[in-house]
């Protein structure tokens, strides 16, 4: 009897490893179903390489198999990833599924795999090896979750666009998660084959992929133990039923199906969502000695942004027409104007999210061209907030700000694996810097609150803290005062002034004209894509052109609106070349109505109120 | 010509199944992975009805349509509606429809066992016809007629009826639809009902074609149907139709010239290529809304 | 006032744990033009959407013509004569103007032809462009389309969410002229606007919303000259 439980327990470990390979892509918000195909490739090709006797007399055959299998997994994942990585959501799932099937058909038709009859493998894997492997994999993911890389994955999952503007190279991280999943899948394939002593390509099928996915989802992707919990739950369940005498072939899958349905409907975070998170992990560090010294900002007056004749057109519609603009370190430049005037489009060009159609621009030493990448500009020292709040809703306030600090923190993953003290030191530095920003905007007491649970005003301030966390030279604020009452707006005004005093250049778009007059050093007024007035606040307030723009003009508004729509669509298209599908993972990305979509970025006064439940 | 006709017959069944799939995706932005189980249910229930009551085809089809519609309404209520408005609605919908499908399949197993079942001999006409030098069975012609009729009816429904207008409105902008006073919940249910009705009938027709049905048939077709709707364009009805026919033809030709074991590679190779080169498929439009 | 056509009591709307609307109460007299003004994020759209049945309120009672409609879904309300012209207009861009209009008559099939003819009469521009895709219209034309579409539903009470948004001031004049006409036909109008000056100039009664709560209320012309309201919201305009 012990023997049959040994088998079960080993399979639990192996299933958990497979679930980890899904976990690896799910944490980055990707639904990839390629893992079984990769596992299959690894298993079968390893049979060609694994020797019958220890290599060089001392390297165990299994070790050769594992190393080889994981390498195959990595390489195959990389090759698969190159064309596929830019797909999202359902399309990615289907493409990877197709890959899995193609592998299956290919292997079935090979003579060296013995086709559908399958091959025999020597028994090299027992319960100990399986569990050791599982512990190693789990360890790796455990160390991932507190590292900068882990935070980057979570950020990408929650809001890819916002992550880009913090300097995170989304494409590179997505590929990384793909490749990691490939390695783990390869490990699984090899271990499974050498444990079961037999494998045929049909085992690594769509059904098996679905099982693996289900295991990961049931376990939950918010905590690293999720795959283990999922595997235990789903493996023990049929056994439990058998022990309880439930024998009819159809009852077990029915119960499993029902339980799966129940979990997905009522426990969106999976089983690991039931585990209460340790709040102590999110404590602030306020000791200034822990904070590292940061490089000084440019001296006040240094020109950081210079735009000449910058314009953006969509077809025949001119969203922005020939804007000349400069911003210097330590000054506050305000952009005001009616809706559809082109302010957000302009700012999107400055932050690298949209390439200009005409004119030239230099931002922090980088020219704005069609090849400009937003994350590179972010790494040069530009940070921004969005008109429609784009926080990482399920991360805590502190975690949000820590992601913001991506640019100035170090990746500690390798050090964490070895538990080096320097890892802890760097992590503490990151926490300290983030804490300082949180306290600065007045959210110190809410560090552990999930960003999605904060009040609207607090969310706005959190976004600013997150932007400040990267120690930017240029801060771009898109309607930061929306939804604030006078008291809050006043505090915001003071905060902005203090930032400028510290040497940061601030570019602010706002509708609260009164606040802008009080806060900015210079103001530019846009209307229908053009600058109609620029100068000191006092002059702007008296400028007849400005008054006319707000109170009455005879221009047709066709261009302005069309331009706003197109600008918003362009923004949505920036992060994808394929049909825009947002990968929704439990506890994952924003809901449909909340992600940046047409209309959001375009109309500043629209839905900066929370979106309705549709 | 023989190959061509065989391909058309097979393709029309794929198309019928795929149309149901793509209908739900196009209108409600949901991928219903319980569709395959509905296909299987249609087949097995169809066999049962004929075996027990000996009904002719023209009566069998409407009955199966109703069975499918009921299943569709259940799927919408149980697997999708409770998730509306959730962050992860799409992903969770995949999982919940998988779960529903699994439950449905195991219930089918309870009712009908896991073995292959067939229609009782003599239940359907065995006549064969000669068309343009090729031999086809009367049954195949009937299958084609039914498929085409159903697809035509559906297309008309979507294009011309009030319900169809409602469906298209929701597809374009669900919020505007609600503002206009459309009963989004009821239209969604109806969409699922239609989709599953077609899926169930596709199952029956498939089984009529090969006279064998087992628990796994839905799964086998499902993957191909995914290929069909991606190639044709997700959400596009004509795309599903054309894609289905292309796939049917391609498979028949592949089996004939390359060998049956590589047959499925056609579907997936095509699928993969389209996803890389033209993800919106042949007829699909690039969606601007977030899924 | 004698029985208000719409009354809202103690409304609370939450998004997750965020309280967007807190204890909002107001009445709308039949045939009046009432406006809710306030800055972005004040909760105006949330109030309107709760009244229109598009979202569920956490707490509160909403009454329409004496009936408790708090739990009624949007489709039932439209049929009963409570129609919203949503923020951002939400016209169906790929459908023609004519198709958009006929969608407005979803619950008024029998009078559709008559209503469409009437609308074309009042908005000749829409008649001209009736075969064009709605997405090709200018912002002002789309706003007219959205209003016309709502009129086809034969509303007893019309809720407008930020109709002036994104429109040049001259076009806004036209929109407000249309609103006034609608009001003169006896239809009650609830207007939500960021452009407080315009809205208060047009309305009978006004409510000021600030971070989810009503902070000022009164006859519109009084609010228009109230120091505190001016300071808070009228700004440069």
CB contacts < 8 A, A to B, total 177
Q: Where does the pLDDT of residue B237 fall: very low under 50, low under 70, confident under 90, or very high at 90 and above?
A: confident
Q: From A570, which residue of chain B is nearest by alpha-carbon distance?
A: B288
Q: From B180, which residue of chain C is nearest by alpha-carbon distance?
A: C104
Q: Which of C15, C73, C74, C133 to mutate to test the interface with B (most CBs of B within 10 A)?
A: C74
Give the ipTM of the model, two decimals please: 0.89
Per the DSSP assignment, residues forming a β-bridge with A358 are A311
Interchain CB distance below 8 Å, A561 and C49 = no
Phi-psi region of A386 (alpha: psi -120 to 50; beta: other; left: phi over 0): beta
E strand spans, A165-205: 198-199
State pTM to two decimals.
Answer: 0.82
Interchain CB distance below 8 Å, A339 and C166 = yes
For the record, the structure tokens of A189 come out as 């394939």
A593 contacts in B (CB within 8 Å)? 175
Interchain CB distance below 8 Å, A572 and B288 = yes
Interchain CB distance below 8 Å, A207 and B230 = no
Cα angle: A40, vertex A46, A49; to 5 degrees: 160
Interchain CB distance below 8 Å, B90 and A89 = yes
Q: Where does the pLDDT of residue B289 fall: very low under 50, low under 70, confident under 90, or very high at 90 and above?
A: very low
Lowest mean pLDDT among A249-258, B158-167, C159-168: A249-258
B94 contacts in A (CB within 8 Å)? 31, 90, 93
C165 compared with A278, residue with greater pLDDT: C165
Three-state DSSP state, A147: coil
- Give chains near C: 3+ CB pairs under 8 A: A, B
Interchain CB distance below 8 Å, A584 and B91 = yes
CA distances from B39 to A344, A373, B205, B267 (A): 50, 47, 10, 19
For the record, the structure tokens of A473 come out as 């030279």
Q: From C159, which residue of chain B is nearest by alpha-carbon distance?
A: B179
- pLDDT tens track for C40-99: 667 888 999 999 999 999 999 999 999 999 999 999 999 999 999 998 888 898 889 999
Q: Give the pLDDT score at C233.
A: 55
Q: What are the DSSP calls for B186-246, one per residue?
A: HHHHHHHHHHHHHHHHHHHHHHHHHS-B-TTHHHHHHHHHHHHHHHH-TT-HHHHHHHHHH
CA distances from A455 to A63, A442, A450, C14, C16 (A): 54, 13, 11, 10, 10
CB A489 within 8 A of CB A316: no
B206 compared with A182, residue with greater pLDDT: A182
Spell out a b/e string for B3-16, using b for 16 or more CB atoms within 10 Å of the CB, else e.
eebbbbbbbbbbbb
Percentage of chain B surpassing pLDDT 70? Answer: 97
Interchain CB distance below 8 Å, A587 and B87 = yes
Per the DSSP assignment, residues forming a β-bridge with C26 are C8
For the record, the structure tokens of C145 come out as 């389309």
Q: Give the pLDDT score at A243.
A: 79
Say if A227 is an interface residue toward chain C (CB within 8 Å).
no
A453 contacts in C (CB within 8 Å)? 16-18
Q: From B271, which residue of chain A is nearest by alpha-carbon distance?
A: A98
Average pLDDT, chain A: 81
Q: Give the pLDDT score at A1.
A: 55
C93 contacts in B (CB within 8 Å)? 172
Alpha-carbon span C103 to B55, nearest angstrom: 43
Say if A599 is an interface residue toward chain C (CB within 8 Å).
yes
Q: Which of A250, A393, A593 to mutate to test the interface with B (most CBs of B within 10 A)?
A: A250
CB contacts < 8 A, B to C, total 48
Instruction: Please name the residue ranges forming H helices in A484-557.
Output: 486-501, 513-519, 537-542, 544-551
Q: Give the pLDDT score at A565.
A: 45
Q: From B184, which residue of chain C is nearest by alpha-carbon distance?
A: C75
CB C140 within 8 A of CB A557: yes
Instruction: Say if residue C17's pLDDT is above 70.
Output: no
Interchain CB distance below 8 Å, B180 and C104 = yes
Query: Pairing relation of β-strands A522-527 and A332-336?
Result: parallel
Q: How far is CA A613 from the centre of its chain?
A: 23
- pLDDT tens track for B82-140: 988 777 777 788 889 989 999 999 899 888 888 888 888 777 777 777 777 777 788 88
**CA distance, residue B208 to nearest chain C CA (Å):** 41
Interchain CB distance below 8 Å, C75 and B172 = no
Interchain CB distance below 8 Å, A257 and B99 = yes
Minimal Cβ distance to C90: which of B165, B176, B183:
B176
**CA distance, residue C78 to nearest chain B CA (Å):** 5
User: What strands lie across the sheet with A522-527, from one edge to the other?
Assistant: A382-384, A474-478, A505-509, A332-336, A522-527, A530-535
Three-state DSSP state, A64: helix
Interchain CB distance below 8 Å, A98 and B227 = yes
Four-point Cα dihedral A388, A392, A394, A397, nearest 10: -100
**CA distance, residue A296 to nearest chain C CA (Å):** 36
Q: From B85, which residue of chain C is nearest by alpha-carbon distance?
A: C55
Q: Give the pLDDT score at B285.
A: 66
**pLDDT (mean) for C118-129:** 90
Spell out a b/e string for C29-64, using b for 16 or more CB atoms within 10 Å of the CB, else e.
bbbbbbbbbbbbbbbbbbbbbbbbbbbebeebebbb
Interchain CB distance below 8 Å, A614 and B114 = no
CB contacts < 8 A, A to C, total 121
Minimal Cβ distance to A551: which of C88, C165, C237:
C237
- Give chains near B: 3+ CB pairs under 8 A: A, C
Chain C positions contacting chain A at CB under 8 Å are: 15-20, 39-46, 49, 54-56, 87-88, 138-140, 142, 162, 165-171, 194, 210-211, 231-232, 235-237
Interchain CB distance below 8 Å, A609 and C39 = no
Instruction: Say if residue B12's pLDDT is above 60.
Output: yes
Q: What are the DSSP calls for C94-163, one per residue?
A: TSBHHHHHHHHTTT-GGGHHHHHHHHHHH-HHHHHTTTSBGGGS-HHHHHHHHHHHHHHT--SEEEEE-T
Interchain CB distance below 8 Å, A603 and C54 = no
Minimal Cβ distance to B265: which of A83, A102, A587:
A102
Alpha-carbon span A26 to C38, nearest angstrom: 41
**CA distance, residue C78 to nearest chain A CA (Å):** 17
Q: Give the pLDDT score at A278.
A: 61
Q: Which of B169, B178, B285 to mutate to test the interface with C (most CBs of C within 10 A)?
A: B178
Say if A444 is an interface residue toward chain C (CB within 8 Å).
no
Q: Give the pLDDT score at A93.
A: 85
For the record, the structure tokens of C50 come out as 């709760």
- pLDDT tens track for A99-126: 898 898 888 888 887 877 888 888 888 8
Instruction: Report long-range pairs for A372-379 (Cβ below 8 Å, ≥24 apart).
Output: A373/A169, A374/A164, A374/A165, A374/A574, A375/A164, A375/A165, A375/A166, A375/A167, A375/A168, A375/A169, A375/A170, A376/A352, A377/A351, A377/A352, A378/A164, A378/A165, A378/A166, A378/A167, A378/A351, A378/A352, A378/A407, A378/A470, A379/A167, A379/A407
Four-point Cα dihedral C210, C212, C213, C215, nearest 10: 10
Interchain CB distance below 8 Å, C103 and B183 = no
Positions of chain A with pLDDT under 50: 280-281, 551-614
Residue A202: closest CA among A31, A37, A73:
A37
**CA distance, residue C17 to nearest chain A CA (Å):** 5
Q: Where does the pLDDT of residue C151 fall: very low under 50, low under 70, confident under 90, or very high at 90 and above?
A: very high
Minimal Cβ distance to C40: which of A338, A483, A613:
A483
**pLDDT (mean) for B182-201:** 94
**CA distance, residue B194 to nearest chain A CA (Å):** 22
Q: Which of residues 514-553 of A touch C (CB under 8 A)?
A: 514, 541, 547, 550-553
Alpha-carbon span B247 to C19, nearest angstrom: 53
């Amino acid at each position: 009897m012990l023997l049959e439980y040994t088998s079960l327990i080993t399979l639990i470990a192996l299933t958990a490893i497979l679930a980890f390979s899904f976990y690896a892509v799910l944490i980055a918000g990707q639904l990839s179903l390629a893992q079984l195909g990769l596992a299959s490739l690894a298993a079968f090709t390893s049979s060609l390489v694994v020797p019958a006797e220890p290599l060089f007399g001392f390297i165990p055959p299994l070790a050769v198999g594992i190393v080889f299998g994981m390498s195959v997994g990595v390489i195959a994942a990389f090759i698969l990833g190159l064309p596929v990585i830019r797909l999202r959501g359902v399309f990615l799932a289907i493409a990877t599924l197709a890959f899995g099937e193609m592998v299956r058909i290919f292997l079935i038709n090979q003579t060296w795999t013995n086709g559908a009859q399958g091959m025999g493998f020597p028994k090299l894997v027992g319960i100990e090896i399986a569990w050791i492997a599982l512990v190693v994999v789990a360890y790796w993911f455990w160390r991932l979750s507190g590292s900068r890389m882990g935070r980057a994955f979570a950020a990408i999952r929650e809001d890819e666009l916002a992550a880009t503007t913090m300097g995170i190279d989304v494409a590179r991280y997505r590929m990384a998660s793909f490749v990691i999943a490939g390695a783990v899948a390869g490990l699984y394939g090899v271990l499974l084959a050498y444990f079961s002593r037999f494998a045929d390509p049909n085992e690594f099928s769509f059904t098996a992929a679905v099982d693996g996915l289900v295991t990961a989802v049931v376990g939950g992707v918010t905590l690293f133990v999720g795959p283990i919990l999922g595997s235990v739950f789903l493996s023990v369940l049929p056994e439990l039923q058998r022990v309880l005498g439930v024998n009819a072939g159809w009852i077990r899958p029915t119960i499993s199906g029902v339980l799966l349905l129940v979990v997905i409907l009522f426990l969106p975070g999976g089983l690991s969502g039931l585990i209460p998170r340790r709040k102590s992990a999110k404590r602030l560090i306020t000791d200034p000695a822990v904070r590292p010294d940061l490089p000084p900002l440019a001296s006040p007056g240094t020109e950081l942004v210079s735009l000449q004749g910058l314009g953006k057109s969509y077809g025949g519609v001119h969203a922005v027409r020939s804007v000349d603009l400069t911003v210097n370190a330590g000054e506050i430049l305000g952009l005001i104007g009616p809706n559809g005037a082109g302010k957000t489009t302009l700012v999107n060009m400055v932050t690298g999210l949209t390439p200009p159609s005409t004119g030239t621009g230099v931002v922090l030493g980088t020219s704005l061209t069609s090849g400009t990448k937003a994350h590179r500009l972010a790494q040069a020292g530009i940070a921004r907030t969005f008109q429609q709040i784009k926080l990482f809703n399920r991360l805590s306030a502190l975690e949000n700000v820590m992601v913001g600090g991506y640019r100035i923190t170090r990746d500690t993953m390798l050090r964490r694996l070895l538990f080096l003290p320097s890892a802890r030191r760097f992590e503490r530095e990151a926490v300290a810097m983030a804490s300082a920003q949180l306290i600065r905007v007045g959210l110190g007491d809410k560090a552990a609150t999930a960003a999605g649970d904060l009040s609207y005003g607090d969310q706005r301030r959190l976004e600013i803290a997150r932007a400040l966390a990267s120690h930017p030279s240029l801060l771009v604020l898109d309607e930061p005062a929306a939804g604030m009452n006078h008291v809050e707006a006043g505090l915001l005004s003071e905060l902005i002034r203090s930032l400028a005093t510290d040497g940061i250049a601030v570019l602010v778009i706002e509708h609260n004209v009164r606040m802008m007059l009080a806060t900015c050093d210079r103001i530019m007024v846009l209307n229908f894509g053009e600058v109609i007035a620029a100068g000191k606040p006092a002059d702007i307030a008296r400028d007849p052109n400005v008054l006319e723009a707000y109170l009455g003009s005879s221009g047709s508004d066709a261009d302005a609106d069309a331009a706003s729509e197109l600008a918003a669509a362009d923004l949505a298209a920036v992060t994808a070349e394929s049909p825009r599908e947002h990968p929704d993972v439990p506890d994952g990305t924003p809901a449909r109505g909340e992600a940046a979509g047409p209309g959001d970025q375009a109309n500043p006064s629209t839905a900066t109120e929370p979106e309705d439940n549709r | 010509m023989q190959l061509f006709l065989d391909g058309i017959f097979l393709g029309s069944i794929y198309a019928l199944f795929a149309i149901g799939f793509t209908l739900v995706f196009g209108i409600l932005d949901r991928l219903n992975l319980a569709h395959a189980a509905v296909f299987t249910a249609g087949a097995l229930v169809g066999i049962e009805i004929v075996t027990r009551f000996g009904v002719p085809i023209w009566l069998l089809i409407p009955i199966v349509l109703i069975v499918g519609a009921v299943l569709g309404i259940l799927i919408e209520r149980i697997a999708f509606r409770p998730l509306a408005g959730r962050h992860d609605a799409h992903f969770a919908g995949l999982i919940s429809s998988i779960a529903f499908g699994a439950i449905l399949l195991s219930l089918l197993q309870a009712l009908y066992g896991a073995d292959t079942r067939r229609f009782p001999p003599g239940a359907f006409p065995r006549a064969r016809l000669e068309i343009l030098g090729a031999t086809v069975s009367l049954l195949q012609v009937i299958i084609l007629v039914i498929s085409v009729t159903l697809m035509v009816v559906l297309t008309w429904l979507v294009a011309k009826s009030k319900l169809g207008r409602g469906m298209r409105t929701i597809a374009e902008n669900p919020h505007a639809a609600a503002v206009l006073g459309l009963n989004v919940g009821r239209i969604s249910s109806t969409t699922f009902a239609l989709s599953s009705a077609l899926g169930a009938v596709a199952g029956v027709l498939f089984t009529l074609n090969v006279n064998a049905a087992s628990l796994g048939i839905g799964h086998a077709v499902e993957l191909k149907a995914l290929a069909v709707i991606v190639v044709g364009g997700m959400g596009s009805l004509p795309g599903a139709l054309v894609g289905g026919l292309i796939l049917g033809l391609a498979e028949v030709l592949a089996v004939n010239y390359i060998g049956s074991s590589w047959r499925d590679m056609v579907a997936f190779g095509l699928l993969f290529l389209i996803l890389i080169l033209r993800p919106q498929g042949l007829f699909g439009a690039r969606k601007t809304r977030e899924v | 006032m004698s029985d208000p056509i719409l009354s809202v009591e103690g409304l609370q709307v939450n998004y997750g744990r965020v309280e967007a609307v807190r204890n909002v109460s107001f009445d709308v007299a039949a045939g009046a033009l009432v406006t809710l003004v306030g800055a972005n994020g004040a909760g105006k759209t949330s109030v309107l959407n709760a009244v229109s049945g598009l979202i569920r309120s956490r707490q509160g009672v909403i009454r329409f013509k004496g009936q408790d409609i708090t739990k009624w879904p949007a489709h039932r309300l439209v049929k009963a004569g409570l129609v919203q012209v949503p923020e951002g207009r939400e016209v169906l861009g790929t459908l023609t103007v004519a198709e958009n209009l006929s969608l407005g008559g979803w619950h008024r099939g029998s009078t559709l032809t008559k209503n469409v003819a009437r609308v074309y009469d009042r908005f000749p521009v829409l008649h001209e462009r009736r075969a064009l895709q709605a997405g090709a219209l200018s912002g002002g034309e789309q706003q007219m389309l959205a209003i016309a579409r709502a009129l086809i539903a034969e509303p007893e009470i019309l809720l407008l969410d930020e109709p002036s948004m994104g429109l040049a001031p001259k076009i806004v004049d036209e929109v407000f002229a249309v609103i006034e006409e609608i009001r003169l036909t006896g239809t009650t109008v609830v207007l939500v606007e960021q452009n407080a000056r315009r809205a208060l100039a047009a309305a009978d009664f006004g409510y000021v919303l600030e971070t989810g709560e009503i902070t000022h209320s009164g006859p519109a012309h009084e609010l228009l000259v109230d120091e505190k309201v001016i300071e808070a919201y009228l700004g440069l305009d």
